[in-house]
Structure 1
Amino acid sequence: MTGASPVPDWRALGGYTFVKDKWTRAGFHPQPSSFVTPLRISECPVQMECQVVQVNGIRKDLPDHSGLLLAIEVRVLRIHILRNLRMEGHPNRVDPDKWRPLIMSFRELYGLGNGKVCTRSLGQRNDEEYFRAITKSDVVKLPGDDDQIAVAEGDA
């Protein structure tokens, strides 16, 4: 789901649809932040308020992809964490035995145990080839752009 209306073409291709009130749709509740404008999600056990320090473009070697991928450096201003996730005797440390974060791997959500935690809902497109478009340029040709799969016998 996206809050952009109309839905940009590239989002629509990924299966995204417009949702005016994402808070209600997701079943979350907003909570004020201390230092930044965006609201926090009260249901999240760990939350970080951050300030953007620097935005760096990735793949500057492909001029037709300028600005498509960005690496964003942030400064953490405040961390909000539930008391029951803190390490005993250390109020500023997270106890890794108590916190079970979600980890995104290949657009799927996993926990620290085996298997997926839930079914993907970040867009319905599961075509990994769709995302290869951001690695290729129509201006600069690079080795590997021909999409030929070459796997030597015994390679995994």
Structure 2
Amino acid sequence: MAPVVGMSIKFKSVAEDQQIYSGNLKYDLWEIELGYKGKQVKTTYATIKGEFKEPDLDHVINSMFTNAIMYQRYKNDLSGALFAFKRSGVTPKDVKRMIEGAKLGYDALVQLFGENYKLYEKYYHDMRPIKGLIKMNDMLQKLEELASLAKQDS
């Protein structure tokens, strides 16, 4: 993977074979430290057991944006979240834990990107269905352009 300009990632495995939600899926849990423009945030990142030998920045950030959008959508609507995920066999307790986990990603992104977070989230939300996994170098370059335009407009 090419390094992402202006962004850094450090990680360590903190648990393997975790059962985070009900069902048969097991997860690997990683402690992640992200850096961007002099800001540092720490959070956790769960992946399906064995999915990655080590997490990469593109997958981590894409996952965090997906979780942040999910958190904002369901933070005050547990029944809506339970309905949305009912086919996966999750329980109300699982949904509550899932939303709490998604909040960690949301908080980390807001801390990391600051005042530009909403702009970045909108770009991610608009582009994800078109491009699938968004490469962070492409995203950060476009986001810098959007942030610059937003400052010019204000």
TM category (shorter chain) comes to under 0.3
Point out the structure with the larger strand share: 1
Point out the structure with the larger helix share: 2
Bigger relative CO (Cα 8 Å, ≥ 6 apart): 2
- Answer with 1 or 2: which has the greater Rg: 1
